Structure 1
Amino acid sequence: MPRTAATAPRALVALGLGAGLALAFSACASPARGPGDGGSGSPAELDGTWTLVSASDADGDYLPDAALVPGPVTLEIDGDEARGQAPCNGYAGELRVTGDRIDIGPLTSTEIGCDGGELEVRYLAALDAVDRVEADASGLALDGEGISLRYERGAAPPDDGAGSGTPPGAAELDGTSWALRAILASSGDATDGTSSSTTVEGRPRLVLDAGGRASGSAGCREFSGTWSIDDDVLAIADLEAQAADCPAAFVTQEETMLGALRQGAEVTLGDERMTLAAEMGAGTRIQFAFARE
């Protein structure tokens, strides 16, 4: 059933969304917005990934605290589509721009809970209500009545700098369970590279038993194997994934996650969080941001 925010004029429903993956809706469609009086699509300067750096509404400032949410809040604009990562869930919707006027929605989102759930309701309601836009090479401003959202261009790493935590030993991972919250792909170097965030499909998780057994789900298929950590690299040997007829939207996510676990990924621990980072070939680095269950 749809989740409805009291402050939002339209309902938010379950959605599976991944960058480069097909959209897969898992709940009834939200009410369609009537046709606007302006054009469709977005000017080229709006296209790309934007990371939220400040947010306010009638109740005050509410930029999600890194301690409450699993990763950065993003907005990705691609023509007449808007999508991104809210404090807890991925979201998507239509986008229309005419001059300095913008209309986003109706919005749909996944339904994974986290401590930032209240902030998510406010953020998605704000996106739904903004009606003015201004952008330059480095910043994006969205405004509405009592609403201000400010973004900087580019995708921040999951966990607002995940990967700078503490390299763990086996004892720190024994008997732990983790839920995948965000995926970040980057290529090139810091001055001439690209990055994009991917909304997590399904409910991927990783369980590391004290006896060395690993199990979990890549979103659709369950898997198991034997885990070990060596020089801060976590790997799962003899990894086997069950056979299943998975939706197309899950395929790339599953292959990437299972491939990283098989080859080994650099692991760091933060406050109730874990990041796995792996080089996946062709100059691409993938980061998986997990939250402790």
Structure 2
Amino acid sequence: MEEHSMELLAIIGPITTAWKDKIEHCRPDLEVVVYPSTKEFVKNPNPGVTILAAGGGLPTAKLIPLLPRLRWIQTWSAGIDGLIESVPDHITVTTMKGLGEKAVAEHAIALLLSLTRIRPNSPTQERSRQIPLETLDGKTHLIIGYGHIGQRIGVLSQAFGMKVMGVRNHPEPNQFHLSDLPQLLPLADVITLAAPLTPSTYHIIDAKSLSKVSSHTILINIARAELVDQQALWEALVTHRLGGAGLDVTTPEPLPEGHPLLGLDSVVVTPHVAGNFPNYFDRALALLMKNLINDFQGHALENTVHLSDGY
């Protein structure tokens, strides 16, 4: 039987003693050390760490030279922006892709319904009565980023009677490529962003793309704030070239009190909570443990990222 050298796993996050013990005993060559926060880990990184489980805000460009044995990073989220340019090819990166897809998709639809049926930012009840409400049936939903989350949003949209157009970098039959966006944008009643942040998706919604949409179109962003040129978005909203926006991600986060976007009737903002649901971290730890076992047994890891593609 092949011998394994000892692995040192650093977990950054609110892990219980029970979970620590469970993970440490999932394979015989594993030692686990827990850090309550990224700040604590950065203050005193252990050069013996071979596997790192961490969330966002990890200064990898600074840390990786201090971790000569590091071979694998497991993120707590589906996105890896911030890691793309700073993680060398010899380090494997895995994500929690798919873990929160139902919650994120439901949140996207909730933002959409808030804008079409509720209008929570209307300052008075009388004013809200003057704003025409919409139904989703028969509307066209353009979903940019048609992976796990995008497809789930598509399923929910179809349940409301919407026509769905899915866009992705590597389209399958009946899907579209990013290069098709100039032709698709004018057809969309709703545009939802569910794409990863990569060089090709940075500011994919900018002044040029917004000039192609209808004045009634609603934009939903549950992905990354940098997919949208926020100044161009603001200008489109205040000049009524865009019907509304539902944003779970913004620049900065959170938006400061008094920010112009927060005062618009046509905008709904939530504080980057689309992926939140009860027991998320327990499920994330379970997936980490599954990948640790896969790694020990020489099997492929789930949700391995192709850093060159950015997802």
TM-score between both structures, scaled by the size of structure 2? 0.22
Q: Which has the larger radius of gyration?
A: 2
Q: Structure 1 length as normaliser, TM-score?
A: 0.23
